[in-house]
């Protein structure tokens, strides 16, 4: 049995180089996200170590590198602020509750994997994902405006917007200069010096140069720095549960688990595209869940599959779980002995790196397609984006899914009604053979043929009844369901109304045609077929039309042979 998905030793050299490169990219991002979360830079490193190692070992995407990501950091920042604010005099208790939520989120992800929920992520429409991810990018940028200008980090984007005038009135010039240097590096190097970016990723280059500038020329400038960072292996902490806060903790854990699931599996799809492989989504969720549970135990940030680190890993040669696990081990070695060096990193430097992360998360490709994209999709994307930024991430996704579902149901019901046709006087366009047209022509409108195609759902139920209401003068109704593979309860009730309303009129008859076994069984179980004479159920439309003509005393020439 293959306990580690995709593990082999035919690519060790590439995996070592990929792991080293991914660790180089992950270090500044983990530090920056730790600061942004409010839990501290060491929490970001611990998250990268534990999620990165265990998701690689137990996950289902061999080349994927996991760790703290922008979306997960935004949610964790909200959670950390929420629970620490409950205990203003005892922040350690609030932090313990927050990291317990991380553990709970990991356990829920494991449960998602066991229940095989991973495949359903494919049903999240692109406009919802685009709006959500773009909203996350905007949040990251907004909450970093303060640190870019030498001010405190805002806990929420709305507060950051409200504080903008204050930030710009109190600009700390040394911090602003450091921010500009970092922004020039992270945006300029990949574009103008791509070869240098391949050898030394721009986030790490920005971290080194920004910190050196501070230490050599700005040591006494008053620019905020990380300060004392703990070193050594973290101590495990037992979960902290308070019954009065437990419902809120469950909701927070669901938010983490849901976002981590989406974030990781989207990155898995990216990994599939560049490696020409196929990930195992449910196994990936189990691996991510194990990583997040252990990260919570050791005070690390929650994480997910990280797109940039995964792409860097693959481009450097990493293809198996060895590279993802190695990147975590390298970070562990750094944290065991590098805390002293990291303490002098200016917060403005990390803020500049995070702004680049935020702009990378925004779905610029979809924004460029606004002129040609469907208006409904654009509306969904913008609603989800704005709700993500200013209301709530989970609510935003829920509203987006509801909007997308309603639009989808409307489109499907329209398609179903396009295939539903009522005919009493045949035309050239009617999909009938010559005999069937002859029967309806001779009946002179007294026979109404109503035929449908495709599965019938609740979305088309009202339309089915409404379309038939336009026809008043007929004596025999032939319902042709030959092309209907399935009906749901609501559409079956619509058929029931059609049949009962027709039979309620004296001297009217109903004939059913082409009932497939499953359709007939379902209609029979609902008592609908009891209304129709057993002799009025046919396999062939032509035969049913002939019987429908004869019961109203018409004997068409086209039926003479029957």
Contact yes or no for 186/201 (Cβ under 8 A): no
Rounded CA-CA distance 411/309 in Å is 39
* CA-to-CA separations, 412 to 217, 457, 522, in angstroms, rounded: 65, 9, 22
Residue 155, pLDDT score: 65
Distance CA 412, CA 406 (A): 10
pLDDT value at residue 318: 86
Residue 150 Ramachandran class (φ > 0 left, ψ -120 to 50 alpha, else beta): left
| C-alpha span between 1 and 227 (Å, rounded) | 48
Sign of CA dihedral 230, 236, 239, 240: negative
Q: What is the pLDDT at residue 1?
A: 43
Mean pLDDT per block of 10 residues along the chain (562 residues) reads 78 84 81 85 92 94 91 88 86 91 96 87 78 83 87 78 87 90 91 82 85 87 77 84 89 91 84 82 94 95 88 82 93 77 80 84 85 86 88 79 82 72 73 78 81 74 71 82 82 82 79 86 84 81 82 76 60
Whose tokens are 């602020």? That residue is 81
Q: Measured between alpha carbons, how far is 308 from 292 in angstroms, rounded to an integer?
A: 19
Output the six-digit token pair for 354.
Answer: 């995070």
Q: List all residues 6 or more positions away from 132 whose beta carbon is below 8 Å from its beta carbon.
A: 71, 262, 384, 385, 388, 393, 396, 397, 400
CA distances from 291 to 260, 325, 326, 424 (A): 11, 11, 15, 66
The per-residue b/e assignment along 502-538, b for 16 or more CB within 10 angstroms, e otherwise, is beeeeebbbbbbbbeeebbebbeeeebbeebeeebbb
Q: How far is CA 382 from CA 4, 135, 268, 342, 371, in A?
A: 41, 9, 25, 39, 14
Q: Quick one: how far is CA 320 from the chain centroid?
A: 25
d(CA 265, CA 419): 37
Rg (CA), the chain: 32
Instruction: Give the residue from 357, 305, 388, 253 showing the smallest Cα distance to 31.
Output: 357
Please tell me the pTM assigned to this model.
0.72
Can you state the percent helix, strand and coil of the chain, rounding each to 5? Answer: 65, 5, 30
Residue owning tokens 């994902």: 129
3-state SS track over 497-530 = HHHHHHHHCCCCEEEEECCCHHHHHHHHHCCCHH
| Tokens 């911090």 sit on residue | 175
Spatial distance between the Cα atoms of 181 and 214, rounded to a whole number of angstroms: 11
- For CA atoms 161, 163, 169, 172, the dihedral sign is negative
Q: Write out the two tokens for 2.
A: 């293959």
Q: What is the pLDDT of residue 109?
A: 96
d(CA 318, CA 19): 7
What is the domain partition of the chain in residue ranges?
A: 12-363, 419-559
Closest CA to 526 of 500, 489, 498, 487: 489
Q: Which residue has the tokens 């004869």?
A: 550
Residue 325 tokens read as 């696990």
Coil, strand or helix at 240: coil
* CB-CB neighbours of 61 under 10 Å: 33
Angle, CA 339 vertex, CA 334 and CA 342 arms, to 5°: 95
- How crowded is residue 74: how many other Cβ atoms within 10 Å of its Cβ? 27
pLDDT at res. 429: 63
Given a contact cutoff of 8 angstroms between Cβ atoms, the answer to whether 29 and 301 are in contact is no
Tokens of 196: 């240098």
What the block records as the tokens of 7 is: 């593990």
46/335 Cα distance (integer angstroms): 9
Say what the pLDDT of residue 122 is: 67
Give the residue among 80, 87, 43 at the shortest CA–CA distance from 155: 80
* Residue 303, H or E segment: none
Q: Give dist(CA 294, CA 253) in Å, integer.
A: 14
Fold of 419-559: Transcription Regulator spoIIAA (3.30.750)
Question: Are residues 206 and 349 in contact, defined by beta-carbon separation less than 8 angstroms?
Answer: yes
The residue behind tokens 């629970």 is 83
SS3 per residue for 412-433: HHHHHHHCCEEECCCCCCCCCC
């Amino acid at each position: 049995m293959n306990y580690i998905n995709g593990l082999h030793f035919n690519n060790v050299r590439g995996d070592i180089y990929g792991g080293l490169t991914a660790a180089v990219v992950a270090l500044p991002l983990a530090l920056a996200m730790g600061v942004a979360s409010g839990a501290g830079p060491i929490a970001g490193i611990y998250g990268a170590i534990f999620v990165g190692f265990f998701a690689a070992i137990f996950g289902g995407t061999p080349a994927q590198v996991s760790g703290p990501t922008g979306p997960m950091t935004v949610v964790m920042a909200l959670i950390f602020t929420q629970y620490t604010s409950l205990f203003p005099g005892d922040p350690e208790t609030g932090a313990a509750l927050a990291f317990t939520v991380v553990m709970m989120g990991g356990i829920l992800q494991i449960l998602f994997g066991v229940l095989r929920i991973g495949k359903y992520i494919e049903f999240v429409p692109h406009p919802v994902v685009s709006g959500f991810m773009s909203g996350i990018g905007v949040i990251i940028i907004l909450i970093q405006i303060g640190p870019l200008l030498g001010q405190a980090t805002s806990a929420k984007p709305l507060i950051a917007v409200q504080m903008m005038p204050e930030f710009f009135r109190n600009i700390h010039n040394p911090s602003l200069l450091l921010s500009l240097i970092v922004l020039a590096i992270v945006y300029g190097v990949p574009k103008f010096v791509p070869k240098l970016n391949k050898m030394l990723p721009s986030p790490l280059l920005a971290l080194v140069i920004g910190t050196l500038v501070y230490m050599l020329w700005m040591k006494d400038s008053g620019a905020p720095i990380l300060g004392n960072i703990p070193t050594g292996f973290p101590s495990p902490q037992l979960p902290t549960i308070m019954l009065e806060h437990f419902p809120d903790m469950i909701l927070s854990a669901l938010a983490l688990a849901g976002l981590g699931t989406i974030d990781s599996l989207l990155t898995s799809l990216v990994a599939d595209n560049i490696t020409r492989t196929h990930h195992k989504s449910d196994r990936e969720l189990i691996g991510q869940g194990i990583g997040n549970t252990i990260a919570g135990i050791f005070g690390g940030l929650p994480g997910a599959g990280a797109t940039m680190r995964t792409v860097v890993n693959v481009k450097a040669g990493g293809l198996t779980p060895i590279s993802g696990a190695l990147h975590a081990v390298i970070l562990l070695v750094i944290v065991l002995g590098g805390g002293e060096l990291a303490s002098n990193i200016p917060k403005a430097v990390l803020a500049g790196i995070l702004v680049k992360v935020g702009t990378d998360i925004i779905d610029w490709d979809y924004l460029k397609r606004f002129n040609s994209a469907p208006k409904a999709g654009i509306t969904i994307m913008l609603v989800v984006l704005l709700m993500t930024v200013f209301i709530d991430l989970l609510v935003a996704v829920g509203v987006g899914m509801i909007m997308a579902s309603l639009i989808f149901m409307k489109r499907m019901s329209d398609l179903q009604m396009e295939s539903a046709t009522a005919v009493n006087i045949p035309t050239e366009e009617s999909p009938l053979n010559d005999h069937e047209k002859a029967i309806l022509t001779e009946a002179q409108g007294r026979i109404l043929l109503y035929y449908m195609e495709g599965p019938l759902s609740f979305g088309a139920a009202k339309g089915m009844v409404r379309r038939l209401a336009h026809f008043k003068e007929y004596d025999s109704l032939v319902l042709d369901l030959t092309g209907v593979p399935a009906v749901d309860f609501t559409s079956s009730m619509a058929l029931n109304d059609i049949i009962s309303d027709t039979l309620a009129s004296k001297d009217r008859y109903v004939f059913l045609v082409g009932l497939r076994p499953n359709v007939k069984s379902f209609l029979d179980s609902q008592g609908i077929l009891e209304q129709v004479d057993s002799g009025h159920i046919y396999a062939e439309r032509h035969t049913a039309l002939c019987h429908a003509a004869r019961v109203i005393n018409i004997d068409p020439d086209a039926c003479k042979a029957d």
